[in-house]
Amino acid sequence: LAIQANYYSVSLQIQRDSASEALRVLCTKRSRLWKLGHQVMVGDRVVVEEVDWNGRRGVITDVLPRKTQLNRPPVANADQVLLMFALAEPDLDPFQVTEFLTVIAATGLEVHLCLNKADLVPAQQQQAWCDRIQAWGYHLSLISLHTHYGLDTLQSYLQQKITVVSGPSGVGKSSLINYLVPTVNQTVGHVSGKLARGRHTTRHVELFQLPGQGFLADSPGFNRATLDCSPHELALLFPEAQQRLRQGSCRYHNCLHRDEPGCVVRGDWERYSYYLTLLDGVIARQEQLNQTSAPESSAKVKTKLGGKRCYEPKLAAKKYRRTSRKASQQALQKFYQDLD
Ligand code: GDP
Ligand code: ZN
């Protein structure tokens, strides 16, 4: 559930009669695991031995294989990201929503978008936002933590899953966690003192056990994350572009969908201009990375890029990525040749 220094807080699932209950124990890690270099992450499923039931202590002796792994925020086995925005206060900024959506899409995790503070805007305006975002290609929930509107439906999406809560500040993430996990007392509305700051560093993650089944991880990791993908992968992070690429293909395999002839992605979809803006950023970032490590070897860039990437995409995605990564490497090579 949480890691502090070399101590791991672990939730043990205990079967008693036909009921199962959770017991929280504080564990150290068996030295063999240290020697093997096995990291234990929040979200990991672990084997605990030498349990002292009275002192609630134990020793982690093994880490089971991970389904997924995020590095920012550091969470293992996350199933999805709950991306939260507010309809008002602060104003909903479609470009900012897009930035978050692309960063999350680059991790390979599912995203569930949820718009809070429905109580602050009239029904017509709520509907307009829903229609608009659905046209981009996403499902979303409207909620209000003040009136409790939509919260039952939202809760049903969180059952049996590890969900990472993400979104800019002020949209109601702490309010949501307080509502769903009443035993945690999170600071709502204002950030106070060292404690709150400590909680809000990217490295600190904690899983909260939901009353039903499932866990929530609260971390601002995605807020600080820059979009880490190659110029060629960017279009694949937009459902609108994906759809166009499923129906046809661009004349050039390394098309960046700007002004190349025979491009099927360029068009009058709403977020196409956002795509172009983000593409400029991604290209600038790649150039920068390449320049800073140019005197040494290009391997450094690779590890830096590779090390930061943190997903275990589904099978289909994996297959897709493999080809797309090769294609994007070739395209990048050409891109830099052209620059020279
Ligand atoms: P966080 O920064 O994302 O964790 O947001 P908080 O949970 O701290 O909420 C920020 C502010 O928005 C607080 O003043 C909350 O009371 C307020 N807030 C949260 N949810 C709602 C809502 O559904 N409606 C309205 N009107 N205000 C809300
Ligand atoms: Zn194209």
Burial 89-122 (b: 16+ CB within 10 A, else e): eeebeeeebbbbbbbbbbbbbbbbbbbbbbeebe
CB neighbourhood size of 14 (10 A):
12
Kindly give the distance from the C-alpha atom of residue 92 to the centroid of ligand 2, in angstroms, as a whole number: 30
Single out the residue of 44, 39, 75 nearest to residue 203, CA to CA.
75
The pLDDT score that the predictor gives to residue 73 is: 85
pLDDT score for 218: 80
Over residues 76-108, the pLDDT tens digits come to 999 999 999 999 999 999 999 999 999 999 999
For the cut 90, the answer to whether the pLDDT of residue 20 exceeds it is no
Tokens of 241: 């572009």
| Closest protein CA for atom 14 of ligand 1 | 189
Mean pLDDT of 174-199: 66
Please state the φ and ψ torsions of residue 127, each to the nearest 5 degrees: -65, -40
Is a pLDDT exceeding 70 seen at residue 327?
no
pLDDT recorded at residue 125: 97
pLDDT score for 37: 76
Centre a 10 Å sphere on the Cβ of residue 273 and count the other Cβ atoms it contains: 10
Return phi, psi of residue 31, to 5°. Answer: -60, -25
pLDDT at 112: 95
Nearest residue to 314 via CA among 30, 49, 68, 74: 68
| CA-CA-CA-CA torsion sign (126, 127, 130, 136) | negative
Average pLDDT of every residue of the chain: 82
User: How does residue 289 score in pLDDT terms, banded at 50, 70 and 90?
Assistant: confident
d(CA 221, CA 334): 33
pLDDT at residue 233 is higher than 60 = yes
Write down the pTM of the prediction: 0.80
**pLDDT band with cut points at 50, 70 and 90 for residue 189:** low
- Residue predicted with more confidence, 266 or 340: 266
Residues with CB under 6 A from ligand 1: 116-117, 119-120, 144-146, 169-175, 188-189
Nearest CA to ligand 1 atom 26: 117
CB atoms near residue 305 (< 10 Å): 15
The rounded distance, in Å, linking the Cα atoms of 321 and 16 is: 44
User: Which residue's alpha carbon is at the smallest distance from atom 13 of ligand 1?
Assistant: 189
Locate tokens 């960063």: which residue? Answer: 103
pLDDT digits (tens, 9 = 90+) for 99-150: 999 999 999 999 999 999 999 999 999 999 999 999 999 999 999 999 999 9
Question: What is the distance in A from the centroid of ligand 2 to the CA of 225?
Answer: 27
